[in-house]
């Protein structure tokens, strides 16, 4: 038996005795149609079995009410908090956020971006995956689609960026460790293909240079930006003939891994080795010991990124000012006592 042909807007118009444009307005939820006419059209829609393809309709419009949030690592609590901040703003504005996790895979990221463009999204907020090439977003820019980078920037890109003051945060954390008497320091995690890595490592190096730490006593250990990466960095550092006594970690996930590695060796974070994280995720305050970390307002940065995106869409522009968010060091127990006086972390 032959399948029934799909109903069209013309079928609805014929059934309801109205024009095709009237049917289109009813489907779009327009308030321009008289209520009794809208009721008649909706009954005709049911009678002919019409299914409204919203995706196809969005492609015909200048833009949809869907915004893509493309995140590099949703398993990292920081990026989950960032996404929640974005979502809060979009929901209150009647926008539908579509979230995708690229798992630090630039090939997956390319697939996601292509799919979202085909769906006719109004704009994209992206935290680029590791290994993203500078040209990866050129097609989006040429198409005039508003794009905002969150947390990470690409070299030589004009796409607006919402990010914390990475250099200052790392400087403050390193200054704190040196102020507690540490003279052989490490930087754990991250890799040279990330702009944010160079910003945080730059702050670490500047503090060491400014405060008289010899070049040979500044140890750099690249690694994954995860607990696994933190474990590997700490194990490599402790295997040295003259290991460091303190580490600034690329992020809190690396710091949690570093503390796990210390415990596996029978060492106590804080008492035997000072650890500082970066991001100050919710877990940092409740970890054992509580983690000293550079506080970044993750949800606030997410909200700012969403507001910038909405403004870009309303203004029909792809340009916006970068926003560099303030940071501060939250001192807890993971730095241990002052090496010079034996006093506690609050000293």
Residue 290: its pLDDT value, please? 98
pLDDT at 142: 84
Q: How confident is the model at residue 4 (pLDDT cuts 50, 70, 90)?
A: low
Q: 53 pLDDT band (50/70/90 cuts)?
A: low
The pLDDT score that the predictor gives to residue 146 is 95
Compute the average pLDDT of residues 12-26: 87
Nearest residue to 123 (alpha-carbon basis) of 143, 91, 145: 145
Q: What does the pLDDT look like over 316-325, one tens digit per residue?
A: 999 999 999 9
Confidence at 60, pLDDT banded by 50, 70, 90: very low
Q: Which residues of the chain does CATH 1.10.260.40 include?
A: 9-52
pLDDT higher than threshold 70 for residue 344? no
* 239 class by beta-carbon count within 10 Å (0-12 exposed, 13-18 middle, 19+ buried): exposed
pLDDT attached to residue 28: 73
Checking if the pLDDT of 57 tops 70, the result is no
C-alpha–C-alpha distance, residues 236 and 255, integer Å: 14
pLDDT of residue 47: 87
3-state helix vs strand vs coil in the chain, percent to 5: 45, 15, 40
Q: 103, 317 in Cβ contact below 8 A?
A: no
- 212-266 confidence digits (pLDDT tens): 999 999 999 999 999 999 999 999 999 999 999 999 999 999 999 999 999 999 9
Query: Is the bond leading into 289 cis (omega within 30 degrees of zero)?
Result: yes
**Ranges in the chain annotated CATH 3.40.50.2300:** 66-163+298-325, 166-297
Q: Are 240 and 180 in contact (CB under 8 A)?
A: no
Q: What is the rounded CA–CA span in Å between residue 166 and residue 163?
A: 8
Categorize the per-residue pLDDT at 155 as very low, low, confident or very high, splitting at 50, 70 and 90.
Answer: confident
The answer, yes or no, to whether residue 209 has pLDDT greater than 60, is yes
Q: Residue 86 has which token pair?
A: 């974005």
What per-residue confidence (pLDDT) applies to 2?
45
Identify the pLDDT of residue 49. Answer: 79
Q: Would you mind telling me the total number of residues written for the chain in this entry?
A: 347
130 pLDDT higher than 60: yes
CATH class belonging to 66-163+298-325: alpha beta
* pLDDT at position 343: 45
**Could you give the CA distance from residue 273 to residue 346 in angstroms, rounded to a whole number?**
16
Range 196-212 average pLDDT: 98
Provide the pLDDT confidence category of residue 273 given band limits of 50, 70 and 90.
Answer: very high
Q: What is the mean pLDDT of the chain?
A: 90
Residue 129: its pLDDT value, please?
94
pLDDT tens per residue, range 168-189: 999 999 999 999 999 999 999 9
Q: What is the CATH superfamily name and number for domain 166-297?
A: Response regulator (3.40.50.2300)
Euclidean distance between CA atoms 295 and 82, whole angstroms:
13
- Domain 9-52: which CATH number of 3.30.450.70, 3.40.50.1220, 1.10.260.40, 3.80.10.10: 1.10.260.40
pLDDT above 60 (res 63): no
The pLDDT tens digits of the residues spanning 323-335 come to 999 999 999 999 9
CA of residue 90 relative to chain centroid, distance = 15
- The reported pLDDT for the residue numbered 54 is 57
Q: What percent of the chain is predicted at pLDDT more than 70?
A: 92
Q: Cβ contacts of residue 267 below 8 Å, gap of 6+?
A: 238, 273
Predicted pLDDT of residue 250? 98
Contacts of 156 (CB under 8 A, 6+ apart): 134
Distance of CA 36 to the CA centre of its chain: 47
pLDDT category, 191, cuts 50, 70, 90?
very high
Q: What pLDDT is stored for residue 34 in this prediction?
A: 86
Query: Per-residue b/e over 245-273, b at no fewer than 16 CB within 10 Å?
Result: bbbbbbbbbbbbbbbebbeeeeeebbeeb
């Amino acid at each position: 038996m032959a399948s029934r042909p799909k109903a069209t807007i013309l079928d609805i118009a014929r059934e309801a005795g109205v024009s095709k444009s009237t049917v289109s307005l009813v489907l779009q939820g327009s308030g321009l149609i008289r209520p009794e006419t809208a009721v008649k059209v909706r009954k005709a829609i049911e009678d002919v079995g019409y299914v409204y393809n919203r995706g196809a309709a969005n492609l015909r419009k200048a833009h949809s009410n869907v915004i893509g949030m493309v995140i590099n690592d949703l398993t990292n609590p920081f990026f989950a908090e960032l996404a929640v901040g974005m979502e809060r703003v979009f929901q209150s504005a009647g926008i539908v956020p579509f979230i995708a996790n690229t798992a630090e895979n630039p090939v997956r990221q390319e697939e996601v971006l292509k799919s979202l463009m085909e769906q006719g999204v109004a704009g994209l907020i992206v935290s680029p995956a590791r290994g993203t090439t500078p040209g990866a977003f050129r097609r989006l820019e040429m198409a005039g689609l508003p794009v905002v980078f969150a947390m990470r920037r690409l070299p030589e890109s004009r796409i607006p960026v919402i990010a914390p003051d990475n250099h200052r945060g790392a400087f403050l954390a390193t200054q704190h460790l040196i102020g507690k008497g540490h003279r052989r320091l490490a930087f754990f995690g991250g890799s040279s293909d990330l702009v944010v890595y160079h910003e945080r490592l730059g702050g670490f190096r500047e503090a060491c240079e400014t405060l008289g730490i010899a070049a040979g006593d500044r140890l750099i250990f690249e690694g994954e930006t995860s607990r696994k990466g933190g474990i590997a960095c700490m194990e490599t550092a402790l295997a040295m003939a003259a290991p460091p006594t303190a580490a600034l970690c690329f992020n809190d996930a690396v710091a949690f891994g570093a503390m796990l590695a210390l415990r596996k060796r029978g060492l106590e974070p804080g008492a035997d080795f000072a650890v500082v994280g970066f991001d100050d995720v919710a877990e940092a305050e409740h970890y054992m010991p509580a983690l000293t970390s550079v506080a970044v307002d993750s949800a606030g940065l997410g909200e700012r990124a969403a507001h910038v995106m909405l403004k870009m869409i309303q203004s029909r522009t792809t340009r916006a000012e970068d926003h560099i968010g303030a940071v501060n060091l939250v001192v807890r127990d993971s730095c241990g006592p002052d090496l010079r006086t034996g006093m506690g972390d609050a000293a």
